[in-house]
Amino acid sequence: MIRRRLASTSLLLVISVVAYLISISCANRGSGPQGGPKDITPPRPQRSIPDANSLNYKKNRIDIIFDEIVQVQNTFENIIISPPQKQAPTVKAIGKKISVELQDTLKDETTYTIFFGDAIVDNNEHNVLSGYSFSFATGESIDTLKMSGTLIDAATLNPIAGVMVGIHSDLSDSAFTSKPFDRITKTDKNGNFSITNIRSGKYRIYALDDVGNNYRFDMPDEKIAFSDSIFEPSASTNVVADTVYRDSVVKLSTGKADTLRLADTVIRKFDVRYSPDSIVLRAFVEDYYNQYVVKSLRPDVRHFTIYFNAPNKELPRTEGINFDIGKGVVVEPNTRGDTIDYWLKDSALWAIDTLKLRLTYMKMDSTHNLVEQTDTISLRSQKRRAKSDKNRNQEFLTLISNAKGSINYFDTIEISIPTPAEMDMVKKISLQRRVDTIWQPQKSTITAIDSVGRRYRVAATLQPSQTYRLVVDSAYFRDIYGNVNKNTTFDFTVKSKDVYASLTLEMGVFTGKEIIELIDKNERVIRRAIADKQKVRFDNLDAGTYYARLFVDLNGNGKYDVGNFAEKRQAEPVYYYSKSFELRQMWDNEEYWNYRELPILRQKPQEIKKVIERKK
């Protein structure tokens, strides 16, 4: 009886303790942080069907099981199959499993690699399993060689992310333009790439921003890169000795007994190195333009503008449909040649509500050849015209000039006018310098610097630390519509020479074909100079931070030129000085530069390097 009571009492005690613990647990819910540290670990593959690097696997489905629930993101951008597939694979994530269904028929005796990029993330924190790949072979062996390197922009040396890199065992030039790659990969966020599971042999390597999604270069606006070299990938094994020092305890066996003591231990490790492992590909878009009219505007009855997407090498032909374009039009192309203004001198044309014309220019056809293209354009004025020209109020020309505020003593003074005009030489324009309280005339000449008389240059010798004014008489300029300017004065001062710095670059190597550019942090060109002597000097620089780059002007045309694949011509080489120049007022700086000294990937300063993302 006593035993039963003890057992009953013990049972009640256990139940009470459990109930108390449960009540504490419930009471504490929501009272504070319950979880542990944030999960930052990406998902890890646990097993797969087939096993990784399996042989003789001929099924189209691959299942990979992970240690947690996973998702796949941006499959089209991230996941690629090597060798490339004609049909995109089907990729699904269900729970902890990712299934890949290949749609193409598998090739015999071929190694397949599924490159996931940044597609695989865990379900909760979206931690990325970056760079994961899965391989298997349909034959008796799996290919294991690798080729790796970096893809950069030829003009800026910036790394390019997300662009395809592929190899061809067909070494002919036509393979790049007519066949899909043998094996492919994509560059990572730093422009690096690694093509894996390559069969032994000789290859050419290319990069392709594959706009056509067909694994070949067949569109002239695709960004490309190619190497002049033929590569034969290989692997070498090195034995590396790794010593475990005396702070490790090892078991030593003697003839009589085993003992424990501190001892050095040498462990042999095998390091496999694949080559080539430092290929540099310099990408560019060929000098190509698919010319077309972007838009056409008629802001007022006397003027219309046609905008092209790219510069015209020659002026387009124009033919009026409901008017005679004849000689009553002043044609003004801009300096780039992609915008053309037409100024109508004949007042009879102003009365036409909608002008219609035919415009003939060179356009690229579907075979990428330039052919004549004729567009019909209708131009309706955006401003209501006056009932007659007589009712038009007198308009005055507004003059715009850089001669204002504070300018440099080496600047050229310019004047711009809104419409084509001519100078009235009877009138006067006068540059004057203030001496004490008197304005003294200075020697100067004025000339038109465009073909229609909208921009003029005033040439004069300006003295530092002086005050000037430019006085333009009324009616000095008269435009093609009879409008004139009012009397206009521009006041300005010239900076002191003490505010400038100078920089001299002593070239460790030069051929006379190098063109050096001083640039700012946004890579805007501040100065240019030809390195035709060992020391290149830049004077009259504003204080600030500068960088230097150069390109080798191989064809001597004074400008940077991209490459051309059909001509087997690379883009002109570009180099950067590896540091910035901090210039201060009145400082004379001199630096040594051997632009061939550093590897190309280590040249561009990190603070101005920007990753170029592939346009989606």
Q: What is the pLDDT of residues 556-602, one digit of tens each?
A: 999 999 999 999 999 999 999 999 999 999 999 999 999 999 999 99
**pLDDT over 80 (residue 13):** no
- Amino acid identity, position 458: V
Per-residue model confidence as pLDDT tens digits over 421-458:
998 876 889 999 999 999 999 999 999 999 999 999 99
Cβ neighbours of residue 8 closer than 8 Å, sequence gap 6 or more: none
Query: For 72-96, what is the mean pLDDT?
Result: 94
Between the CA of residue 168 and those of 172, 196, 198, 202, what are the distances in Å?
A: 9, 14, 11, 8
The full DSSP string for 14-32 is: HHHHHHHHHHHHHHHTTSS
- For the sheet with 488-494, list strands across it: 405-407, 488-494, 467-472, 429-435, 438-442
What's the rounded mean pLDDT across residues 506-512? 94
The predicted structure's pLDDT at residue 14: 44
Domains in the chain (CATH in brackets) are 45-137 (2.60.40.1220), 145-233 (2.60.40), 235-275 (no CATH), 293-384 (2.60.40), 396-495 (2.60.40.1220), 499-613 (2.60.40.10)
pLDDT of residue 264: 56
Among 428, 546, 442, CA closest to 494: 442
Q: Are 533 and 547 in contact (CB under 8 A)?
A: no
For residue 393, is pLDDT > 80?
no
φ and ψ of 498, to 5 deg: -70, -10
**pTM reported for the whole predicted model:** 0.83
The yes-or-no verdict on residue 61 having pLDDT over 60 is yes
For residue 419, is pLDDT > 50?
A: yes
Sign of the alpha-carbon dihedral angle for 601, 604, 609, 614:
negative
Residue 204 vs residue 310, higher pLDDT:
204
pLDDT at position 392: 56
| The residue to which tokens 């640039």 are assigned | 519
Give the amino acid at 210.
D
Mean pLDDT of the chain: 89
Helix, strand, or coil here: 185?
strand
Taking only the tens place, the pLDDT of each residue in 109-159 is 999 999 999 999 999 899 999 999 999 999 999 999 999 999 999 999 999
The tally of CA atoms less than 13 A away on the side-chain side of residue 519 is 21
Please report, rounded to a whole number, the percentage of residues in the chain having pLDDT higher than 70. Answer: 87
In this predicted structure, what is the pLDDT of residue 572?
98
- Whether the per-residue pLDDT at 56 is higher than 70: the answer is yes
Gap between the Cα atoms of 325 and 305, Å rounded: 15
What pLDDT, on the 0 to 100 scale, is given for residue 385?
A: 54
Residue 21: which residues within 8 A CB-CB, separation 6 or more?
none
Q: Report the alpha-carbon distance of residue 509 to residue 536 in Å, rounded.
A: 12
